[in-house]
Amino acid sequence: MIVRRIALNGWRNYDFETAEFDAGTNVICGANAQGKTNLLEAVYLLSTGRSFRSRFDRELIGFDCGGCEVLADVRSHDREQTVQLRLVNGRPKRITVNGVKKTAGELSEVVNTVLFCPDDLNLIKEGAAVRRRMMDNAICQIRPRYAQLLADFNRLYENKTRILRDWREKPSLLDTLDDFSDGMARVSAQMIRYRAAYARRLCEAAAPIHRDFSDGGEELSVVYKTVGTVTDPFASAKEIYYQISEHQEKHRQAELDSAQCLTGAHKDDLEIAVNGRAARAFASQGQTRTAALSLKLAEREILLAETGEYPVLLLDDVLSELDARRQEFVLNRIGGGQTLITCCEDEGISKRTGGRVLFVEGGRIRA
Ligand code: ATP
Ligand code: MG
């Protein structure tokens, strides 16, 4: 899929600005704080309906504006389509595709993106929440049913956490505790099967990429970790449900004492290792960056296999800390689909990739 053109009105530091992109590589150049990441963020919005760096939509609206609009012409599934998102302070966002109202979840049927930004280094070094989020975002793009499971799970988790926190002041809350636990076990069982399947594909796709990236010197592995009593995350949802319920029963008192949910898919993790050693503890800076990039490029391959089209690859500040050989590897690897890559100076990237260059300055874009 290709984003051909994007118009930004009141979006971050852009107002009444448009950009046209090539189907291949697009190098977005500019000094610091000019709007490079803001442009990538708008393209990401087309696939998810939200930002990758702000929790609140109001932060996306230009400082002096009451609302904003992102409008894009895209080619996807052999059709020319128009995606429009409108945010107005204090109102729910309005999303349309070809003039028809859509939910944020439905956008992934039209546009898919894979983003790599400096924060993605946290995938390797930070706690499990970042890796769960990566997995969840990726699965939501290919399995719409998973997005619903995730929403159900979050609702159950919030309710159960509230009960565990407040039951001492209001003991009647305990009447519904077991129902919420049961709901969490049922939904977790289904999520675990999706996540285990995704982790296996991610490992299969990322290992060869990382091997090439490191000139054959490093072996990357990804192993899915879930509730301790689950012996096989690929077993039937019913079997996993029973095993989670067993864990819940054992930890019921501990949950009441600690006021925390101790059993469920919210504790899952991906164990990422380089040459058999936990990357979180032992990977160097370069290995960390390489491993994170390998995972993202693997996500792109999985989306291609699932949808038949390359997603739009968004690379924010990816080359700055890579040595020349690794830069070359990235630039060679991004062929095939559309890529938007930001950098402070072109440094020949456009020549090396044959790509289009867009210069960004103070919220203005020129080719
Ligand atoms: P860097 O090279 O440092 O990463 P960048 O070109 O990626 O820079 P952006 O993150 O795109 O920079 O931000 C550009 C400018 O947009 C910043 O000065 C930022 O303060 C400004 N900005 C952020 N949010 C808004 C907003 N809601 N309204 C107006 N301007 C904003
Ligand atoms: Mg930036």
**Of 103, 99, 112, which is closest to residue 46 (Cα–Cα)?**
112
Residue 159: how many other CB atoms lie within 10 Å: 17
- The residue contributing the CA closest to ligand 1 atom 2 is 32
Q: What is the pLDDT of residue 205?
A: 97
Atom index in ligand 1 nearest the CA of residue 31 equals 2
Name which residue sits closest to atom 3 of ligand 1, judged by CA.
Answer: 32
Average pLDDT, rounded, for the chain: 94
* Whether the CB of 37 sits within 6 Å of ligand 1: yes
d(CA 219, CA 182): 40
In this predicted structure, what is the pLDDT of residue 355?
A: 85
**What pTM was estimated for this model as a whole?**
0.92
Phi, psi of 83 (to 5 degrees): -115, 130
Among protein residues, the one with the nearest Cα to ligand 1's atom 12 is 33
36 lines ligand 1 (CB under 6 A): yes
SS3 content of the chain, % helix, strand, coil (to 5): 50, 20, 30
34, 342 contact by CB (below 8 A): no
Looking at the predicted structure, is the pLDDT value of residue 321 above 90? no
Q: What percent of the chain shows pLDDT beyond 70?
A: 99
The two beta strands, 356-361 and 25-29, are parallel
Q: Is 38 in the pocket of ligand 1 (CB under 6 A)?
A: yes
* Whether pLDDT at 11 is above 80: yes
Retrieve residue 309's tokens. Answer: 């089209």
Give CA angle at 194 (190, 197), nearest 5°.
140
Residue 84 near ligand 1, beta carbon < 6 Å: no
User: Which residue has the least CA distance to atom 20 on ligand 1?
Assistant: 33
Q: Which atom of ligand 1 is nearest to the CA of 35?
A: 11
* pLDDT surpassing 90 at residue 202: yes
Nearest protein CA to atom 21 of ligand 1, as residue: 13
Element (H, E) at 342: strand 339-343
Digit-coded pLDDT (tens) for 139-176:
998 998 998 999 999 999 999 999 999 999 999 999 99
Q: How far, in Å, is the centroid of ligand 1 from the Cα of 72?
A: 20
As residues whose CB is below 5 A from the ion ligand 2, the structure lists: 36-37
> Is the CB of 51 inside a 6 Å radius of any atom of ligand 1?
no
What pLDDT, on the 0 to 100 scale, is given for residue 326?
A: 85
Q: Taking a C-beta distance cutoff of 8 angstroms, is the pair 8, 83 a contact? A: no
Residue 265 has pLDDT above 90, yes or no: yes
Does 347 score more than 80 pLDDT?
no
pLDDT band at 322 (very low <50, low <70, confident <90, very high): confident
Distances (CA, A) of 286 to 123, 130, 224, 295: 14, 19, 24, 14
Question: CB of 43 within 8 A of CB of 59?
Answer: no
Q: pLDDT tens digits for 302-320?
A: 999 999 999 999 999 988 7
Residue 328: per-residue pLDDT = 87
Mean pLDDT value of segment 34-49: 97
Closest atom of ligand 1 to CA, residue 39: 11
The pLDDT tens digits of the residues spanning 97-120 come to 999 999 998 999 999 999 999 889
Note the pLDDT of residue 253.
Answer: 96
Q: Is 80 exceeded by the pLDDT of residue 255?
A: yes
Backbone region of residue 90 per phi and psi (left: phi > 0; alpha: psi in -120 to 50; beta: other values): left
Average pLDDT for residues 168-195, to the nearest whole number?
97
With CA atoms as reference, report the closest residue to 114 among 350, 349, 331, 292: 292
